[in-house]
Amino acid sequence: MDGTILVTGGAGYIGSHAVLALLDAGREVVVVDNLVTGFAWAVDPRATLVEMNVADPRMSDLLRAHDIRAIMHFAGSVVVPESVSDPLKYYENNTAATRALLASAVAAGTPHFIFSSTAATYGTPDRVPVAEGDPTVPINPYGMSKLMTEAMLRDVAAAHPMNYAALRYFNVAGADPQGRSGQSTVGATHLIKIAVEAATGKRNAVGVFGTDFPTRDGTGVRDYIHVSDLAAAHVAAFDQLAAEPARSHTLNCGYGRGFSVLEVLDAVDRVTNLKLDRRLESRRAGDPAELIADNRAILATLPWRPERDDLDGIVRDALAWERRLGEREKGRQG
């Protein structure tokens, strides 16, 4: 096997699934996580966990000591409204921290870098599905902090022997189908997480943020991708970067189709056999009406195909994890 992969943020939601995908593919994995929002228990014990900030100057020694072939960089701050109220936190944790990590990678000669970017780099797209070459005009500091990192990657890859994949995630949801990890973040704000919290009695209702969008039923439309498919895309991206070291990639990660908020809640009702209480509310600041990936580039570039493009399946896996999380919390209290 050719080399160890370093996963930053590997104790978090998407990072922990990438760790599983890498281990399942037979890779050696070192996780770097400061455990501020992540959980040590979310890291598969087959991986080595180092509790450290990604900007720590000791990072280049760590990269050298483990002969790291690629960095998958998930660590960062991800709450859009918080990025509006505390922008410098986002420019610190996302942009500046990645600058420091890139400096360590360059110093250690790390050849490949895979970056968690976001559809928020597009802002409010002029058209959907939105493609990688379309204008990137972020409408919040979160999207801008990630777009600035994409710019650094481009420039660093031009100047140093490193190639990269910037993966622009659409709406990530669901959980490991084997029940090994899931979305465990405290105070999560994402629709499917909120809905399964309501389904398991942790909330009384689900707010529907905006019913007057120019969409088929007036609610926001998003491209929901199963977290395990997204994790698999990272493994495929690494293989591609290693196979063709002179090329870098910026790729949308989505299925190319959208569901409205009401369609998602219908799926949750179907899967749970419940009728969740829906509270119609006004729009959330900065929410675009519709965000759907043009995914032709990733399909053409990576040996990757969606395997879990099924909204009910995504909800089922998210729900199963939410129940496990409930058991875990009960166990800890009892």
Catalytic residues, by residue number, are 142
Within 21-40, which residues bind ligand UDP (CB under 6 A)? none
Among 207, 218, 313, 326, binds ligand UDP (CB under 6 A): 207
Judged by CB, which is closer to ligand UDP: 221, or 325? 221
Query: Minimum Å distance from CB 185 to ligand UDP?
Result: 12
Per-residue tokens: 207: 């707010």
Q: Site mask, ligand UDP, residues 267-306, x = CB under 6 A?
A: -----------------x--x-------------------
3-class state of residue 117 by DSSP:
strand
Asked if 329 contacts 202 with a C-beta cutoff of 8 angstroms, the reply is no
Judged by CB, which is closer to ligand UDP: 59, or 311? 311
Within 165-184, which residues bind ligand UDP (CB under 6 A)? 171
194 near ligand UDP (CB under 6 A): yes
263 near ligand UDP (CB under 6 A): no
- The footprint of ligand UDP on this chain (CB under 6 A) covers a number of residues equal to 15
Stretch in the footprint of ligand UDP (CB under 6 A) among 12-20, 204-212, 233-241, 272-280? 204-212
Sign for the pseudo-dihedral over CA of 314, 315, 319, 325: positive
Judged by CB, which is closer to ligand UDP: 178, or 189? 189
Write the DSSP assignment of 38-51 as a string of letters.
Answer: S-GGGS-TTSEEEE
222 near ligand UDP (CB under 6 A): yes
Query: Minimum Å distance from CB 72 to ligand UDP?
Result: 21
Asked if 235 contacts 22 with a C-beta cutoff of 8 angstroms, the reply is yes
Q: What is the DSSP letter of 163?
A: E
As a whole number of angstroms, the distance between CA 251 and CA 248 comes to 10
Compute φ and ψ for 93, nearest 5 degrees.
-75, -30
Write the DSSP assignment of 217-239 as a string of letters.
Answer: SSS-EE-EEEHHHHHHHHHHHHH
As a whole number of angstroms, the distance between CA 141 and CA 97 comes to 15
Per-residue tokens: 226: 């199963």
Among 55, 208, 227, 232, binds ligand UDP (CB under 6 A): 208
Asked if 237 contacts 328 with a C-beta cutoff of 8 angstroms, the reply is no
Among 79, 153, 191, 292, binds ligand UDP (CB under 6 A): 191
Name the closest residue to ligand UDP (Cβ): 220
Judged by CB, which is closer to ligand UDP: 235, or 289? 289
Among 113, 164, 209, 238, binds ligand UDP (CB under 6 A): 209
189 near ligand UDP (CB under 6 A): yes
Tokens 């032709």 locate to: 296
Per-residue tokens: 36: 């501020």
Stretch in the footprint of ligand UDP (CB under 6 A) among 49-57, 190-198, 236-244, 245-253? 190-198
3-class state of residue 175 by DSSP:
coil
First-residue to last-residue Cα distance in the chain: 44
Contact residues toward ligand UDP (CB under 6 A) are 171, 189-191, 194, 206-210, 220, 222, 261, 284, 287
